[in-house]
Amino acid sequence: MSATTADTHVFDVREDNFEAEVLQASLTTPILVDFWAEWCGPCKTLGPMLEKLAAEFNGAFRLAKVDVDKSQQLAGMFGIRSIPTVMLVKDGQIVDGFAGALPEGQLREFLQRHVQPLDGAANDEEVAPESPEEAINRIQQAIAAEPDRAELKLDLALALMRAGNADAAEAELTSLPANLATDARAVRLRNQLDLARALKGAPSLPELQQRVQADANDWAARDLLGVRLLLEDDAAAGLDQFLAILEKARDWNDGQAKKRLLAAFATLDDAELVGRYRRRMASLLF
């Protein structure tokens, strides 16, 4: 990425130019706002990736950098409680966002939900999303270069989980220092691991489906079917299985259906889906 390209799509913003450079400018071009600080370790991981993607998307969005130490009023106005925090502004409104240093593959997925690279992007060849294996290799190299950066271990744990290596992900998660063990991403990963652990030695998806069809009150089969569907990218169908248990056998296995639902809600990105199923769960419980 050349300095010229970076300067074209990345700029600093403070209180005095935020309205013009972000809110007004977003009426024509989406603006990704990165709240960061010099002392923030994860910011040093996320920032270069965002700048790289801004160049690759070639003007489909622009990246506004807000140093929270220099723009405390602006950070307060947006309720920034942790950094890095990223918000996407379109048509003068915040339309999406996230907190923490996501891996590059997830950053691409986030951006592609809202914008697409313009013709003449920095790379002529289409850039494929980073695979979990590529992410693991990249993060391991970063850890080797900076072994004292504990937040990289959390990044590695998340990449290992995406690659399907739950045991290695759990080992990295267990080794995190106390301040990172309560990070939102760590809590989410812990719930994913709990769900994945339930499937050790479990029957296959077709076998579980057959068992539920043969006996709608086979709660053990329905529970495992819900976990399989949830982890195999059919979240709504998985949640439906847990709700079915909650409706007919709320106290089965010490209220496991409710526990499954709460764990599932903690792992899902789809806020609308989670909200809908939270309401359905509440209607059965109260």
Specify whether 215 is located in the same domain as 268.
yes
Specify whether 28 is located in the same domain as 99.
yes
3-class secondary-structure state, position 218: coil
Q: CATH number of the domain at 222, please.
A: 1.25.40
pLDDT, tens digit, 9 for 90 and up, residues 9-25: 899 999 888 988 998 89
248-253 contacts, C-beta under 8 A, 24 or more apart: 248/217, 249/217, 249/219, 250/284, 250/285, 252/219, 253/219, 253/220, 253/223
Cα separation, 198 vs 224, whole angstroms: 7
Q: Which of 25, 32, 40, 157 is catalytic?
A: 40
Quick check: is 43 catalytic? yes
Any domain includes 149: yes
Cα separation, 70 vs 171, whole angstroms: 38
Q: Which of 29-33, 77-81, 278-282 has the lowest mean pLDDT?
A: 77-81
Q: CATH number of the domain at 71, please.
A: 3.40.30.10
Specify whether 8 is located in the same domain as 68.
yes
Q: Decide: pTM greater than 0.75.
A: no
The reported pLDDT for the residue numbered 5 is 38
CA distances from 91 to 60, 65, 94, 98, 118 (A): 14, 19, 8, 19, 19
pLDDT, tens digit, 9 for 90 and up, residues 261-280: 999 988 887 778 888 999 99
| Tokens coding 80 | 């920034």
Is residue 6 over pLDDT 60? no
Is residue 121 over pLDDT 80? no
Q: Which of 43, 68, 99, 161 is catalytic?
A: 43
| Tokens coding 195 | 């769900």
Average pLDDT of the segment spanning 1-9 = 49
Region of 253 (left: φ > 0; alpha: ψ -120 to 50; beta: rest) is left
Residue 36 pairs in a beta bridge with 67
Domain holding 13, by residue range, is 3-112
The reported pLDDT for the residue numbered 130 is 67
Any domain includes 133: no
Average pLDDT of the segment spanning 122-150 = 73
pLDDT, tens digit, 9 for 90 and up, residues 186-200: 888 888 898 888 988
Average pLDDT of the segment spanning 150-177 = 86
Quick check: is 199 catalytic? no
The reported pLDDT for the residue numbered 95 is 81
Any domain includes 9: yes
Is residue 129 over pLDDT 80? no
The reported pLDDT for the residue numbered 123 is 46
Any domain includes 117: no
Average pLDDT of the segment spanning 96-120 = 79
Structurally, the chain folds into a number of domains equal to 3
Percent of all residues in the chain with a pLDDT value above 70, rounded to a whole number: 93
Any domain includes 93: yes
Model confidence at 119, pLDDT cuts 50, 70, 90, reads: low
